Chain A
Amino acid sequence: MSDTTFARLDVLKTYKLYVGGKFPRSESGRVYEVTKATSAAGAAGKREWLANVPLGTRKDARDAVLAARKAVKGWAGTTAYNRGQVLYRVAEMLQGRREQFAAEVAVSEGIGPKKAAALVDAAIDRWVWYAGWTDKVAQIAGGANPVAGPYFNLSTPEPTGVVGIVAPQAGYGHSLLGLVSVIAPAIATGNTVVVAAAAAAPLPALSLGEVLATSDVPGGVVNIISGRTADIAPTLASHQDVNALDLTGAIAADGPGAAAALEAAAADTLKRVVRPELDPFAQDWTNAPGTDRLLSFLETKTVWHPMGI
């Protein structure tokens, strides 16, 4: 019934980190500006401001590792069926927020709304793909071994533990679909993760935390930190309590030298390392994912038992 004519002012969201199932600001109290990506890279002029996001620090990363470690026992201990249902629940929740994510992906990657929506759909379907893997991976990665003797011998894959992930920073679909493509396979098998989000395109990642928090994913299973990868990634690579490192975004973020340095740092505690693509900018995240990532963060355990009266 108002007779004044003014455009209603939107309520803007304060983007926050996602750590231990909670949404803290950075312990640094600092933020950095995220601007709209343009299709013509390096276009002249001032870029459009989108949001101030937390400038996550080394300390934020260490806190996240602590949370991830705490969550391992519970998450790895759930049944594969249960994990599958939780991952499927993420797809359900993401479907309900499709439009929000399409808008964020569009501005994050500088693409049109149709393409962005298709990328969100693909991200939803990717959760479904991995939801279906939780109770099948042991059937393709494990099994009975016909040893030459009166022994029962069975190999079973088990999760590695805490996985540090440098999220995709480039390539078509990296901001959400790429992110889901690195998180989902790691947690499908019972690992927990700490993710350094795409530094220049962190909005879908930080919003994904909100989806995960309402999807029956236990707190600490996925932890997402925005900020300079040059700060966060080395902390993960050298951390004594991280078991594996996914360097997918490391070259795009800080160059091949940085990726090699992270791998070298990971060698200290013999972390399992997934190396980045040589040309991450050419990566198309809509390609079928296969099982590589699913099998990357597993330990094979083999049990022997004698047969006899």
Chain B
Amino acid sequence: MAKKKNTEQPAAKPAGGLFTYAPAPESPAAAGDIASSYGHFIGGQFVDSSGSEALKTVNPATEEVLAEFAQGTEEDVDRAVAAARKAFGDWSALPGSERAKYLFRIARIIQERGRELAVLESIDNGKPIRETRDFDIPTVAAWFFYYAGWADKLDYAGFGPNPRPLGVAGQVIPWNFPLMMLAWKVAPALATGNTVVLKPAETTPLTALRFAEICRQAGLPKGVVNIVTGDGRTGAALTAHPDVNKVAFTGSTPVGRAIARQLAGSRKKLSLELGGKAANIVFDDAPIDQAVEGIVNGIFFNQGHVCCAGSRLLVQESVQDELLDALKRRMSTLRVGDPLDKNTDIGAINSAAQLARITELTEAGEAEGADRWSPECELPGTGFWFRPTLFTGVSQAHRIAQEEIFGPVLSVLTFRTPAEAVEKANNTPYGLSAGIWTEKGSRILWTAERLKAGVVWANTFNKFDPTSPFGGYKESGYGREGGRHGLEAYLDV
């Protein structure tokens, strides 16, 4: 049983005379049974760790412990890699059409169990149920559905005839979109004939462990998917394992750098999806209301725990005042609170550690002279929370303009000419994504051509689709996930 919890939070204060909202809580019981402790999923079954260390995952909205789970040891990783290796021969030898059918089954079961997964994800991560229900879980199902279709079509993917899988893939994923990141990693790996050992993040292991059950329901052969839980030590053991042929990592740039260093000289194929500091560029002819919605979605979606978040707003000077007034008005209507309330816009910060990081960087922003603004809003008494925050008067040298905050914090800079916008947008070691707001199509394309970013959204933001490649330039990593391009990371090509 999911632990009982009083889900009532104070209703968000109406701003500007808007409506109040009665609470519309989703039932935590819909998350299904959460065990008090979990082992790893290796070779088709749940097994105990060889070590005795256990970690706890908490509901960041309540600080309640949801479950204990194993801290994976080197021996655990070794067993999981051995199971994946053993499964690789038969799995890769299956006709692609049969592999496809397993993945289609997984996609369907995820759709069937969508509500359960959405609630579980919200509880474990702190993100609003509206996002897990309408975005995370449907995207997970879509990802499996899309890559299922590739499994028997690899000859048509543009990598030459009969492209071969790499072998065992070691995959380490972050906590911001736990199940979605799993899908981005597992679906293409399996479609191409690899087997996987996946380590979910140590603050959000529950949906990955639930996914193990889904693999069993789908009849997936044992050892094709293995899940080993734990913190960074487990991750390091996995990426270092000599019998791993492919490493895929999504997370911070410093860890990505360390993995690249660790793999130097090996024959392991590596793909990295790392940090970002995306510029959201608003030109003077942009439709202001639409742009404001896009800016809000860009930085406050998922509490700003998004590597491609539009965390730097670059606004043309002539429309700065108008835009910021509208933006502040809109921010005042954001509802921060209970993630399981269907009206909630901004949920809980994922962990105390992340809250501390956001707090530290915003304090640095003030100390360096930027102007801080947040709307009035009441925060719940327990749990990890951060008000949506805006910094104006930010210079390019400020830490809040350079470092990834990974929270609901927007830094506003200005520009006068398109060339200046491009120069400022590119003035970062990152290059994951960018946004452009203008009514003029030719200006969109001119700007996009000059941006050093792997994904450019024009008059929209934070759009994802399994058919569309995603990944970064520069220190945002290499390799692409999604689309036909996403197959390459898992093929010996």
Contact = CB atoms under 8 A, between A and B. Distances in A.
Interface string A145-162: 000001010000000000
Interface string B92-132: 00000100110010000000000000000000000000000
A307 B446 CA distance: 5
Contacts of A133: 149, 153
A131 B104 CA distance: 10
Nearest to A135: B467
Size bracket, chain A contacts: 20 to 34
A203 to B, nearest CB: 27
Contact of B149 (A136, A305, A307): A136
A81 B142 contact: yes
Contacts of A269: none
Contact of B101 (A80, A128, A140, A307): A128
Contacts of A305: 441-442, 445
B150 A132 contact: yes
Contacts of B484: 136, 139-140
Interface in A289-304: 291
Interface string B155-179: 0111000000000000000000000
Given A81-B142, A129-B97, A307-B445, A140 B149 contact: no
B152 interface: yes
The DSSP consensus for interface residues of chain A is mixed
B483 A81 contact: no
A308 B148 CA distance: 40
Grouping DSSP codes into helix (H, G, I), strand (E, B) and loop, the B interface class, with mixed when no group exceeds half, is: helix
Contacts of A139: 467, 483-484
A75 interface: no
B90 interface: no
Given A128-B104, A129-B97, A291-B156, A135 B149 contact: yes
B321 interface: no
Contacts, number: 70
Nearest to A126: B97
Nearest to B484: A139
A191 to B, nearest CB: 19
Interface residues of B, number: 27
Nearest to B148: A132
A308 B483 contact: no
A295 to B, nearest CB: 11
Contacts of B442: 305-309
A283 interface: no
Contacts of B104: 88, 128, 131
Contacts of A134: 149
Interface in A100-127: 125
Interface in A71-93: 80-81, 84-85, 88
Given A128-B100, A128-B101, A84 B145 contact: yes
B406 interface: no
A88 B150 CA distance: 14
B102 to A, nearest CB: 11
Nearest to A151: B445
A308 B419 CA distance: 11
A136 B150 contact: yes
Contacts of A136: 146, 149-150, 153, 156, 467, 484
Interface in B307-325: none
Contacts of B439: none
A85 B441 CA distance: 33
A140 B467 CA distance: 12
Contact of B100 (A132, A135, A291, A306): A132
B418 interface: yes
Contact of B97 (A80, A128, A135, A309): A128
Given A84-B149, A88-B104, A139-B484, A308 B97 contact: no
A221 B124 CA distance: 44
Contact of B446 (A80, A85, A132, A308): A308
B443 interface: yes
A119 to B, nearest CB: 15
B445 A132 contact: no
A84 B467 CA distance: 13
Contacts of A140: 156-158, 484
B449 A132 contact: no
Contacts of B441: 305-306
Contacts of B418: 309
A131 B484 CA distance: 16
Nearest to A306: B442
Contacts of A306: 441-442, 445
Contacts of A81: 142, 145-146, 466-467
Contacts of B101: 125, 128
Contacts of A132: 100, 148-153
Contacts of B142: 81
B443 A309 contact: yes
Given A125-B97, A128-B104, 17 more contacts: A81-B466, A81-B467, A84-B149, A132-B149, A132-B150, A132-B152, A132-B153, A133-B149, A136-B467, A136-B484, A139-B483, A140-B484, A152-B445, A305-B441, A305-B445, A307-B445, A308-B442
8 contacts: A84-B145, A88-B145, A128-B104, A136-B146, A152-B445, A306-B441, A308-B442, A309-B443
Interface of B: 97, 100-101, 104, 142, 145-146, 148-153, 156-158, 418, 441-443, 445-446, 449, 466-467, 483-484
Interface of A: 80-81, 84-85, 88, 125, 128-129, 131-136, 139-140, 150, 152, 291, 305-309
Task: List the 8 shortest-distance A-B pairs measured between CB atoms, nearest first.
Answer: A132-B149, A307-B445, A308-B442, A306-B442, A307-B446, A139-B484, A152-B445, A309-B418
